[in-house]
Amino acid sequence: MTVVSASLPDFPWDLLEPAKSVAAAHPDGIVDLSVGTPVDPVAAPIRAALTAASDAPGYPLTAGSPALRAAISAWLSRACGASGTPGVLPTIGSKELVAWLPTLLGIGPGDVVVIPQVCYPTYEVGVKLAGAEVVRSDSLTAIGPRRVKLIWINSPSNPTGNVLPAAHLRKVVDWARERGVVVASDECYLTLGWDDTPVSVLSDEVCAGDYTGVLAVHSLSKRSNLAGYRAGFVGGDPALVAELLAVRKHAGMIVPAPVQAAMIAALEDESHVADQRTRYEARRTALRTALTGAGFTIEHSGAGLYLWSTRGEDCWKTVDWLAERGILAAPGAFYGPAAGQYVRIALTATDERVAAAVARLAA
């Protein structure tokens, strides 16, 4: 009998435990900038919507309530510039969909999934769960004559914060359509543009209202501090979304009814999003100044919740250097072999903890 976990890589965050112990021993406590988990409060209207919908004894719709589907569609039109009618489907956070998308699409042994050279580790995990082959490439011409079934793109990138322009996205979509390949675009940080303005793959600049073979994955974890709610959604090719829905019905992949109600409240309000952006912008400015002052170089990082930083040395050496100062960062090695000299610094810490990190870097 084959044990599935044996084919998977080590869970990356377990490898960070030694550095975490060192950082935690700092007299003023740890400043954890390794995991991008929100620390700020959930907006009151969202919590109120969750509470009001808590008397939910029946099974919710896997497809999402009509009101939720309408809210997602309206948001895709406003935020993503999607003038057409994409199919939409709520998901149990975005990580769940990323991990299971190849399997849900029927991808398996003998098939190839292309992921970015430097990327979120769960893309590779999802391919391995499906038993397919992973190819890391940022160049379509370098892929070669393989049996490619799915291409993952990620803009703004986790971990680098790099933003892909509309022309590049259009080129990827055109290439994929010519070959019958699905394009899945992870856009969870779309609303967090700083120096650069992110573009959705569903934008009219890319697809002109035709979503054939295209899926855009979104999350309310970072936009609305709903990581604890597990609230995400996918939009795009109506035929592909219908396939995902059919399988998810059988598998019981259903977003709870109170969370669906909270998602509606979050999608229909932009004031809490603006407030959160202001918090992140202040933390970003402070950390960026402190890191460069301490000898780091910041690359990309034009959008998203991270500063892609390097001291020109092995990433684990940098992790140890920071841990000695009570600061925990994520090593670039988590995100691919090409990232061995970088660390990812998250903006998701309280103002007090960010101030502590700034003071330690200055010292």
* Cβ 339 vs Cβ 159: under 8 Å: yes
Residues spanned by the domain of 281: 4-41+272-362
Residue 49 lies in a domain: no
One-letter identity of residue 107: I
Mean pLDDT calculated for residue range 318-322: 98
The answer on 323 and 243 residing in a single domain is: no
* 201-217 pLDDT tens trace: 999 999 999 999 999 99
Structural domain count, the chain: 2
The answer on 277 and 248 residing in a single domain is: no
Q: Is the pLDDT of residue 1 over 60?
A: no
The last residue of one of the domains, among 217, 234, 267, is: 267
340 to 102, 105, 185, 305, 333: CA distances (angstroms): 27, 32, 25, 20, 5
The answer on 155 and 105 residing in a single domain is: yes
Transcribe 257-324 into DSSP letters: HHHHHHHHHHHT--HHHHHHHHHHHHHHHHHHHHHHHTT-EEES-SBSSEEEEE-SS-HHHHHHHHHT
CA 226 – CA 346 distance, rounded (Å)? 17
CA angle 48, 251, 38 (to 5 degrees): 40
* Cβ 242 vs Cβ 218: under 8 Å: no
The answer on 254 and 172 residing in a single domain is: yes
CA 157 – CA 336 distance, rounded (Å)? 13
The last residue of one of the domains, among 244, 267, 290, is: 267
The last residue of one of the domains, among 267, 302, 332, is: 267
The answer on 258 and 116 residing in a single domain is: yes
Residue 149 lies in a domain: yes
* 8-18 pLDDT tens trace: 766 777 899 99
One-letter identity of residue 195: D
Nearest residue to 311 (alpha-carbon basis) of 303, 325, 302: 325
| pLDDT class of 247 with cuts at 50, 70, 90 | very high
Cα dihedral 220, 224, 226, 231, rounded to 10, equals -20
* 163-187 pLDDT tens trace: 999 999 999 999 999 999 999 999 9
Residue 309 lies in a domain: yes
